[in-house]
């Protein structure tokens, strides 16, 4: 059984990082090492994104909302004072977006033969404030 968060972390997040990496190198003329530092990954990861050896399990570029988010994150990270918290928030938002919009269902079926996404609502799961199983921490 492959959990939706596994698919996000192993396919959607690398695909989104690859999109940002491409924008930082092409639009902002950053080196692979500069991109790696800004993204918080290794230079080898950035090289793999560039060679399309990583981050290619799913094409997120076809979704206009995700493409715009990649533009925004790249602009944030390319600035003189990168707002890493905002970049992280936007990246998390994209991960939630691909989950909630069933962007990964086809990939899930490919990765897990016999699994049918029809009628599956696992990606819609969230922790309601009144959950009887686990409680959210309220941070002042």
pLDDT at 64: 94
pLDDT at 105: 87
Give CA–CA dist 75/20, Å, rounded: 9
For 63, the domain range is: 4-124
Q: Is residue 87 part of a domain?
A: yes
Q: Is residue 132 part of a domain?
A: no
pTM for this entry? 0.85
3-class SS shares of the chain: helix, strand, coil, % to 5: 60, 0, 40
**In this structure, what are the phi and psi dihedrals at residue 89, rounded to the nearest 5 degrees?**
-60, -45
Q: Is residue 88 part of a domain?
A: yes
What is the tally of structural domains in the chain?
Answer: 1
Q: Is residue 133 part of a domain?
A: no
pLDDT at 130: 60
Q: Is residue 25 part of a domain?
A: yes
pLDDT at 123: 81
What residues have CB less than 8 Å from 88, skipping those under 6 apart?
none
Q: Is residue 139 part of a domain?
A: no
Residue (of 65, 132, 136) closest to 103 by Cα position: 65
pLDDT at 137: 62
Q: Is residue 129 part of a domain?
A: no
Low-confidence ranges of the chain (pLDDT < 50): none
Task: Give strand ranges (E) for 44-111.
Answer: none
Give CA–CA dist 21/31, Å, rounded: 10
pLDDT at 120: 83
């Amino acid at each position: 059984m492959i959990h939706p968060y596994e698919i996000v972390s192993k396919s959607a997040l690398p695909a989104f990082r690859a999109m940002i990496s491409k924008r930082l190198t092409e639009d902002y003329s950053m080196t692979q090492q500069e991109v790696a530092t800004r993204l918080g990954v290794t230079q080898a990861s950035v090289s793999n994104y560039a060679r399309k050896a990583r981050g290619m399990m799913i094409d997120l570029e076809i979704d206009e909302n995700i493409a715009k988010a990649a533009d925004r994150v790249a602009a944030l990270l390319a600035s003189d004072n990168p707002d890493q918290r905002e970049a992280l928030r936007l990246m998390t938002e994209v991960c939630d977006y691909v989950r909630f919009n069933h962007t990964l269902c086809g990939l899930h079926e490919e990765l897990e033969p016999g699994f049918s996404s029809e009628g599956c609502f696992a990606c819609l799961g969230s922790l309601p404030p009144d959950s009887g199983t686990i409680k959210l921490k309220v941070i002042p």
